[in-house]
Amino acid sequence: MILSSAGKPFKNKSGATNTIRIKNIAGEPVEIEGGWAIQANQAKDVKCPGCKQSFHETTDEYNPDTVANPSMLTLKAKYMEWGWENVPADATAGFGCLECPECGHPLAPNGKLEVI
Ligand SMILES: [Zn+2]
């Protein structure tokens, strides 16, 4: 866990650039911009390569460096309210079963999701 200069757990503020204060080996304060901490858990839109629309967003499991699996994305709340079926969050299932609910195009034809 990353602690703030006050020794409290670091909290994300939406849109704000967080600054983490640490000390270097000489005991002098060093400031590090901690924007990465927000981006790691920020949901990104998953774009369908077929119809270019976005019905899903990424989850915390999303990793652009590995092949996609159904646990990396979730149907946006708006479409779940419409009664559309979400993808089962099964990390062992392949990317081949990821299809666009609108046009049926594979969401990760080469194993990688297109995120915006
Ligand atoms: Zn589509």
Taking only the tens place, the pLDDT of each residue in 37-78 is: 444 458 999 999 999 999 999 999 999 999 999 999 999 999
Question: Is 10 a member of any domain?
Answer: no
Mean of pLDDT values over 21-48? 70
Question: Is 17 a member of any domain?
Answer: no
Beta strands in the chain, from DSSP E residues, in sequence order: 19-23, 29-33, 45-47, 54-58, 73-75, 114-115
Which pLDDT band, with edges at 50, 70 and 90, does 19 fall under? low
Residue 78 domain boundaries:
43-116
Question: Is 79 a member of any domain?
Answer: yes
**CA 63 to ligand 1 centroid distance, Å:** 21
**CA 29 to ligand 1 centroid distance, Å:** 50
**CA 103 to ligand 1 centroid distance, Å:** 4
Q: How many domains does the chain have?
A: 1
